[in-house]
């Protein structure tokens, strides 16, 4: 069976779409797992606002060699 150029292009587009979906699912899973770890390490984090949660994370897990800026604490 011979495929037309349009069919081959469509198959390629579908393949790329499946790859993007798979990557997005992997990222979502990773974010959920990492978020669960962060919540477990920060008692009471389920009651914090997004801003306070981020500030707590920055204080508990500072980046190596980088000072926490006031801007990072606000966002």
pLDDT per residue over 13-65, tens digit each? 999 999 999 999 999 999 999 999 988 888 898 899 999 988 888 888 777 65
Put residue 65 in one of left, alpha, beta given phi > 0 → left and psi -120 to 50 → alpha. left
What does the pLDDT read at residue 43? 85
What does the pLDDT read at residue 1? 80
| pLDDT over threshold 80, residue 69 | no
67 pLDDT tier (thresholds 50, 70, 90): low
What does the pLDDT read at residue 74? 58
What does the pLDDT read at residue 72? 59
72's CB contacts (< 8 A; 6+ apart) are: 54, 58
């Amino acid at each position: 069976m011979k495929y037309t150029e349009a069919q081959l292009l469509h198959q390629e587009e579908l393949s790329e779409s499946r790859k993007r979906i798979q990557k997005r699912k992997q990222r979502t899973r990773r974010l959920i797992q990492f978020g669960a770890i962060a919540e477990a390490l920060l008692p009471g984090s389920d009651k914090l606002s997004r801003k306070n949660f981020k500030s707590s994370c920055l204080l508990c897990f500072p980046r190596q060699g980088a000072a926490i800026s006031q801007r990072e604490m606000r966002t």
